[in-house]
């Protein structure tokens, strides 16, 4: 099913329109936020200014009322009426009533120094002596302004003084609500709440159902009277009224944005057409190009960066086309090499699955290429665990399993493919290349060479072995000859004894026979025979045992067998080798051993290990013998030591021979290399030792040498 795709022009128009729309939405949002924020700040500023002006007006109003009260209290008639009781009824009531008729006054009262009422405009009798700490005004001579919390009445008390002495006071109660009504703005969208301390005294235009933008304004120090009253004014405007202005501005902005978007769409269509046409032309040329032939895409006729892009694309395309031809040739060449390789080649991915094999792999395993592709590379080997886990390896012996189940001995080498990432500064495993070499013929040849080398060793040891066997055989023969002669004497004595026994049974005279028996015993030296015969038998048996030991040791060298690796006592194995080879070294060197008695058993191929030790010991004896030819007549020394080294066993074989010249040291483990005369040895000794220790036992073989001072061979064998 073919999916529909937008054209480049449509994409440009769409993306440009979306971009412009997003910009406008962003701008509108920012403008709305800024406008709302600024208008809110402006409203709060206006409310603060309005509240401040309202508080100033109230301060002025209270100051005016206090000033009128002061003038009234200082009136001479008021003072005289307080001092002259007889004149109070003449003019005091009229004066108080006239003063009380002023706006916003609820009552006016005059009291004496003790707070007793002299006259009041209110018919109620108030306890003025307790009213608002009147004693403060009488005592200090200063006016007092207080609020009656119970009634919400503002009380002003001004002392009446005569010759600077307070004789009484004028007390006036004001309706604070009416005063506030005169002070605050009459706009319905503005509300006020007036607090004296924490008590709400007056509010205007406030509704609990409305949401307001409010500010609180407390009377400052410049408003002395309101400060004394702890006046706080909260004013605000309904949020709905405030948002009307914002909405009107936003509608205007949206209308402008709409027209701008429409204009932008038409502009995007025009720009998209101008931009997309040459790009589409370039795309069409690229589509028409082929991997088989190179077709240039330039010119496109724009003479701008797009023209440069077309030229750059042509250069890259030409380079890629040429490189593609080279890669094709290299691929054909590589395939030809793979097909002609004598060894099997296997390529696996990072999961270990085979991706590529050559013809030799197919021939060796019997599978088709498609059957091998996708198989785990470990599945074609008998050993399921081993090398190839993230590191290179070379010449590891493995067993290959063919399709028919045949087991083939091979040497396996591998190289891990890595990919380096600059971003992560790390490497990633991409796969594995395996080279498999068929070593069946080589193993047969190696076995023949090993057997030949053993035969060489046996030949070299033959004379010594013959001497070693001849010595015990010689004294075995002497002891048997002694036993044979002794048997004749014993037989004669036994015969005389039998005749004497017969005579005794018959009761005849036996004196002559007894004398003859004693004479035979003396001639045979019977006491000597009793002492020496057991010793002769023991010596003969010991000789037989020594011969059997030598024969058994030689049998292992002559008949190798197909043994498996088993745990052996290294010290005991070395002692056996020294026994077999004793005739090779006992005339030229003294043997010193320093064995670790606590050495654990070591997994070994016993025959191969014995052969390796024998070859090194014989070489050491030959080196000491060569040194004696140079004038060193003293006996040499061969020192063999064993010890545990962590998870390995170390064996050192040191001689005091000629040492190895520096120019020969790199070659001593090479096959068929020898420093002996032509016809002497096969040159396989140390080469086989290296194979036994390093390849078969996974150990190590090194040496330390100094010309003229001798050589030390160092063997390490793993314990696991």
Q: What is the pLDDT of residues 515-542, one digit of tens each?
A: 665 666 655 556 666 666 776 677 667 7
Comparing 19 with 471, which gets the higher pLDDT?
19
Q: Is residue 593 over pLDDT 90?
A: yes
Give me the pLDDT at residue 437, please: 82
Q: Is residue 509 over pLDDT 70?
A: no
Reference 524, options 532, 512, 535, 536; nearest CA is 532
Q: Is residue 564 over pLDDT 60?
A: yes
Those residues with Cβ within 8 angstroms of residue 544's Cβ, 6 or more apart along the chain or in another chain? 472, 476
Q: Is residue 512 over pLDDT 80?
A: no
* Distance in angstroms (rounded) separating the CA atoms of residues 606 and 564: 9
Q: Is residue 125 over pLDDT 60?
A: no
Domains 346-438 and 566-718 in one fold: no
Domain ranges (residues) in the chain: 34-239, 298-340, 346-438, 444-548, 566-718
Q: What is the pLDDT of residues 34-85, one digit of tens each?
A: 777 787 787 778 878 888 888 888 888 888 888 888 898 888 888 887 777 7
Q: What is the pLDDT of residues 435-472, one digit of tens each?
A: 888 777 777 776 666 666 556 555 555 555 665 666 66
Confidence of residue 298 (pLDDT cuts 50, 70, 90): low
CB 589 within 8 A of CB 638: yes
Mean pLDDT of 252-272: 73
CB 653 within 8 A of CB 713: yes
Helical ranges in 105-230 per DSSP H: 134-140, 176-183, 224-228
Instruction: Give the range with max mean pLDDT: 55-64, 186-195, 275-284.
Output: 55-64
Q: Is residue 684 over pLDDT 60?
A: no
Largest CA distance in the chain: 209
CB 364 within 8 A of CB 402: yes
Confidence of residue 19 (pLDDT cuts 50, 70, 90): confident
Comparing 164 with 609, which gets the higher pLDDT?
609
> b/e for 258-276, b at 16 or more Cβ within 10 A?
eebbeebbeebbeebeebb
The answer, as to whether pTM is greater than 0.85, is no
Mean pLDDT of 184-202: 79
Give me the pLDDT at residue 366, please: 84
* Distance in angstroms (rounded) separating the CA atoms of residues 347 and 718: 32
Q: Is residue 193 over pLDDT 90?
A: no
Which of 72-76, 145-149, 215-219, 470-474 has the lowest average pLDDT? 470-474
Helical ranges in 212-298 per DSSP H: 224-228, 239-288
Q: Is residue 1 over pLDDT 50?
A: no
The pairing of beta strand 589-594 with beta strand 636-645: parallel
| 346-438: CATH number | 3.30.450.20
Confidence of residue 127 (pLDDT cuts 50, 70, 90): low
Q: Would the CA dihedral through 42, 44, 46, 49 be positive or negative?
A: negative
Rounded to 5 degrees, what are φ and ψ at 192?
-135, 145
Give me the pLDDT at residue 685, please: 65
Q: Which CATH architecture has domain 34-239?
A: 2-Layer Sandwich (3.30)
The fold adopted by the segment(s) 566-718 is Heat Shock Protein 90 (3.30.565)
Give me the pLDDT at residue 117, please: 82
Q: What is the pLDDT of residues 476-502, one digit of tens each?
A: 766 676 666 666 666 666 666 666 566
What is the rounded end-to-end Cα distance, in angstroms, of the chain? 63
Comparing 86 with 26, which gets the higher pLDDT?
26
10 Å Cβ neighbour count for 602? Answer: 24
Q: Is residue 185 over pLDDT 60?
A: yes
CB 660 within 8 A of CB 673: no
């Amino acid at each position: 099913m073919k999916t529909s795709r937008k054209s480049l022009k449509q994409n440009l128009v769409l993306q440009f329109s979306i971009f412009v729309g997003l910009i406008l939405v962003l701008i509108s949002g920012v403008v709305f936020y800024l406008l709302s924020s600024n208008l809110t700040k402006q409203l709060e500023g206006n409310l603060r200014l309005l509240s401040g002006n309202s508080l100033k007006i109230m301060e002025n109003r209270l100051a005016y009322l206090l000033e009128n009260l002061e003038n009234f209290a200082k009136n001479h008639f008021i003072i005289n009426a307080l001092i002259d009781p007889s004149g109070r009824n003449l003019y005091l009531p009229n004066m108080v009533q006239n003063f009380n008729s002023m706006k916003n006054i609820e009552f006016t009262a005059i009291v004496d120094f003790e707070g007793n009422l002299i006259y009041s405009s209110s018919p109620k009798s108030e306890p003025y002596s307790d009213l608002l700490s009147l004693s403060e005004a009488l005592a200090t001579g200063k006016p007092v302004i207080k609020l009656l919390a119970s009634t919400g009445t503002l009380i002003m008390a001004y002392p009446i003084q005569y010759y600077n002495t307070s004789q009484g006071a004028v007390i006036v109660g004001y309706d604070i609500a009416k005063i506030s009504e005169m002070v605050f703005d009459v706009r319905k969208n503005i509300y006020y709440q007036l607090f004296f301390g924490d008590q709400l005294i007056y509010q205007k235009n406030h509704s609990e159902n409305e949401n307001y933008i409010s500010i609180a304004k407390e009377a400052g120090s410049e408003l002395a009277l309101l400060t004394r009253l702890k006046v706080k004014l909260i004013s605000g405007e309904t949020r709905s009224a405030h948002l009307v202005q914002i909405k009107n501005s936003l509608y205007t902005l949206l209308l402008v944005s709409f027209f701008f978007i429409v204009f932008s769409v038409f502009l995007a269509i025009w720009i998209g057409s101008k931009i997309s046409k040459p790009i589409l032309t370039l795309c069409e040329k690229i589509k028409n190009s082929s991997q088989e032939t190179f077709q240039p895409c330039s010119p496109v006729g724009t003479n701008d960066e797009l023209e440069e892009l077309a030229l750059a694309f042509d250069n890259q395309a030409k380079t890629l086309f040429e490189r593609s031809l080279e890669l094709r040739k290299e691929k054909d060449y590589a395939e030809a090499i793979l097909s002609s390789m004598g060894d099997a080649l296997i390529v696996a991915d990072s999961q270990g699955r085979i991706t590529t094999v050559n013809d030799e792999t197919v021939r060796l395993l019997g599978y088709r290429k498609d059957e091998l592709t996708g198989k785990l590379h470990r599945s074609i080997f008998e050993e399921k665990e081993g090398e190839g886990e993230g590191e290179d390896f070379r010449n590891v012996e493995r067993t290959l399993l063919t399709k028919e189940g045949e087991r083939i001995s091979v040497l396996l080498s591998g190289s891990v493919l890595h990919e380096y990432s600059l971003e992560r500064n790390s490497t990633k495993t991409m796969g594995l290349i395996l080279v498999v070499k068929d070593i069946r013929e080589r193993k047969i040849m190696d076995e023949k060479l090993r057997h030949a080398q053993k035969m060489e060793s046996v030949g070299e040891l033959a004379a010594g072995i013959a001497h070693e066997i001849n010595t015990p055989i010689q004294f075995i023969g002497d002891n048997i000859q002694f036993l044979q002669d002794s048997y004749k004497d014993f037989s004669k004595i036994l015969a005389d004894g039998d005749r004497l026994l017969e005579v005794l049974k018959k009761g005849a005279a036996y004196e002559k026979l007894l004398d003859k028996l004693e004479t035979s015993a003396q001639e045979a030296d019977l006491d000597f025979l009793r002492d020496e015969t057991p010793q002769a038998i023991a010596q003969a048996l010991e000789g037989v045992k020594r011969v059997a030991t030598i024969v058994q040791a030689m049998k292992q060298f002559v008949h190798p067998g197909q043994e498996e690796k088993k745990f052996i006592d290294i010290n005991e194995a070395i002692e056996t080798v020294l026994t077999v080879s004793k005739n090779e070294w006992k005339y030229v060197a003294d043997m010193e051993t320093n064995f670790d008695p606590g050495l654990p058993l070591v997994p070994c191929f016993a025959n191969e290990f014995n052969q390796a030790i024998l070859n090194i010991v014989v070489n050491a004896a030959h080196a000491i013998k060569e040194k004696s030819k140079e004038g060193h007549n003293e006996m040499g020394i061969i020192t063999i030591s064993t010890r545990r080294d962590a998870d390995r066993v170390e064996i050192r074989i040191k001689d005091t021979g000629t040492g190895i010249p520096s120019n020969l040291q790199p070659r001593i483990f090479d096959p068929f290399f020898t420093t002996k005369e032509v016809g002497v040895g096969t040159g396989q000794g140390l080469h086989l030792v290296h194979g036994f220790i390093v390849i078969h036992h996974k150990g190590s073989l090194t040496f330390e040498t100094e010309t003229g001072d001798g050589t030390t061979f160092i063997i390490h064998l793993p314990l696991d």
